[in-house]
Structure 1
């Protein structure tokens, strides 16, 4: 039975690393989300007619964070120190910065700058990953659509208030 040990260890290492990516991204996103829940300030803002109800954000972000995790993990397995992985890291930093800027500091203008940069970095990740790993690039497409919508929402809130 020679050769059975290492492949099993490699298999476990791969999927333990996936679990770590999910814990980092989903856990980090949930912690930041809970720390910066919409409060009376947000409730008092004039909102555009397309503003979704608050309950939509939790399930949407949970799904998106899983997709972000899988794309990041796949990129890390393929090229842990490559440009695409650095772009993935940059989007995560911007993603995690938006809620504290918008909800925590109540600074809609700077939050709009953060989310515009985030959308640009997401699109850069899709373009960078597309030819190397189309699945990773594809996993970011719903994320790009949601962040484009969130950018419009942030801009609308800034305009209306």
Structure 2
């Protein structure tokens, strides 16, 4: 199954350096039966994009946490990161959300199909959105508008072999 894992630049560095990383709580997003049922129409590609964008929003939460605790990601460029990978039998978690799945172990580099990362131009919007992502979840309309600004930025696509070069340029 194709899954979309929210990540950060530090997690991406770990994936490249160590050959694997463990997503926070094993959480990933995918085109699950529950996600498909929640939409009256939409192609597989369109619904996979929904799961990708759910992972991108979760990446904002990881960035917000890093800013609060001053972690390693606070020193990295503020960019959403989503790792697309093919894994066998992730656990479906419709009790958490329609697209949520859980991985039972770390993600290996050889499972990665692609990585999606914001460009430098998106950094101000990412920083602003990370600061208000929780407020948006609680219904704050101004925060939702700020999230809309960051979602207007398309994530750039990278093949797994391009990751060392991408990270070297950051």
Normalising by the residue count of structure 2, what TM-score does the alignment of the two structures yield? 0.29
Structure with more of its chain in strand, by fraction: 2
Give the structure with higher Rg (CA).
1
Structure with more of its chain in helix, by fraction: 1
Normalising by the residue count of structure 1, what TM-score does the alignment of the two structures yield? 0.30
